[in-house]
Amino acid sequence: MSGILEGKRILITGVLMESSIAFHTAKLAQEQGAEIILTAFPRPSLTERIAKKLPKPVKVLELDVSSEEQLAGIADQVREHLPTLDGIVHSIGFAPQDALGGNFLNTPWESVATAMQVSAFSLKSLTMALLPLMQDGGSVVGLTFDAQFAWPKYDWMGPAKAALEATSRYLARDLGERNIRCNLISAGPIGSMAAKSIPGFGDLAATWDARSPLKWDLSDPEPAGRGVVALLSDWFPKTTGEIIHVDGGLHAIGA
């Protein structure tokens, strides 16, 4: 029986650790029949080492999504390995340390601007850079952390994720005529490199122990990866502009 991504070609960003959602997305995508290519920044060598743990060998390209020069060249680089793309996975987020950890009221604009560009605007810039490779439609899937609420210590990553969620909706609006779907997975907390960079992450994660209807495992990124793979597949052919929660149901619980 063939996998749900059989014959598809997918570009995946953000594979930094084996514990990341992006890594498990890449692993599942290969297991489900996709050809994949990875991008990484600032240390492609780190991603290359992690990628050796995937079921099949994969090419890693360097891409800084805040660099217009690198974005301008990424389609040609991908084309050397994959002639077209059917999907893009945006697993990119960054905020300077002074934009996190309870410093919300004192964070300077320069740090906020960095968080917004890398964490939100990059969804648009990455998608547009790769659009020439998606002539037959496809699926763009990003990762968010529920921006409906103000989370402890999350500070300016919260507004950045809200901007990401809005950006996905506008991309869905404008790319629908090209048969390109744009959706997000809103995952619960995972003990990834990104999470560990957030001061007080343990306090935030403890919320899931107290309120999540389904037991949540901080060390298991596979459920979120499965959600990403499902949205990359043809099983959601008319779903776009959506945010699907893979968070144990916590988003539905008031207290």
For residues 230 and 190, the model is more confident at 230
Q: Kindly state the average pLDDT of the residues 102-122.
A: 97
72 is in an annotated binding site: no
pLDDT confidence of 195, banded at 50, 70, 90? Answer: low
What is the overall mean pLDDT for the chain? Answer: 94
Active site residues: 154, 161
> What pTM, to 2 d.p., does this model score?
0.95
Q: Is residue 192's pLDDT more than 70?
A: no
- To the question of whether residue 65 is assigned a binding role by annotation, the answer is yes
Q: 12-47: per-residue pLDDT in tens? A: 999 999 999 999 999 999 999 999 999 999 889 999
Using the predicted structure, report yes or no on whether residue 193 has a pLDDT greater than 60: no
Task: Please report, in angstroms and rounded to a whole number, the separation of the first and last CA atoms in the chain.
Answer: 43
Task: For domain 9-248, give the CATH superfamily.
Answer: NAD(P)-binding Rossmann-like Domain (3.40.50.720)
1 is in an annotated binding site: no
Average pLDDT over residues 248-255: 91
CA angle 87, 90, 94 (to 5 degrees): 170
